Amino acid sequence: TSAYYRGAVGALLVYDATRHVTFENIERWLKELRDHTDGSIVIMLLGNKSDLRHLRAVLTEDAKAFAEKEKTYFMETSALESLNVESAFT
């Protein structure tokens, strides 16, 4: 596993805003990242499918609070609406 992360300078942790279980799994992915990378890696938490407001299962406020607590960047995206998709990579 360490070899997979070797040389990484950044990571995008993406969850589906319409499926809470994907947000719950972020903690495990974050731990794995931190266990196998040095402290200088830049981590961005991305909530995808922000356009599906009527199906939302993860509140923006909850994701923001988690990102702040874990000292990661945060952004919501929508591939359908092309919202913040390019911004997430810059």
d(CA 59, CA 9): 28
Quick one: pLDDT at residue 24? 98
pLDDT at 81: 87
Q: Give the span between the Cα atoms of 47 and 43, in whole angstroms.
A: 13
2 found inside a domain: no
pTM: 0.89
Predicted confidence (pLDDT) at residue 30 exceeds the cutoff of 80? yes
Q: What is the 3-state secondary structure (H, E, C) of 20-32?
A: HHHHHCHHHHHHH
Instruction: State residue 38's pLDDT score.
Output: 85
Domain count for the chain: 1
CATH number at residue 29: 3.40.50.300
pLDDT at 87 over 90: no
Look up residue 58 and give its DSSP letter: S
Evaluate whether residue 72 is within a structural domain: yes
Question: pLDDT tens digit string along 37-51?
Answer: 988 899 999 999 999
| Sequence-ordered list of residues with C-beta below 8 angstroms from that of 55, at least 6 positions apart, any chain | 18, 49
Strand, helix or coil for residue 12: strand
> What range defines the domain where residue 44 resides?
9-89
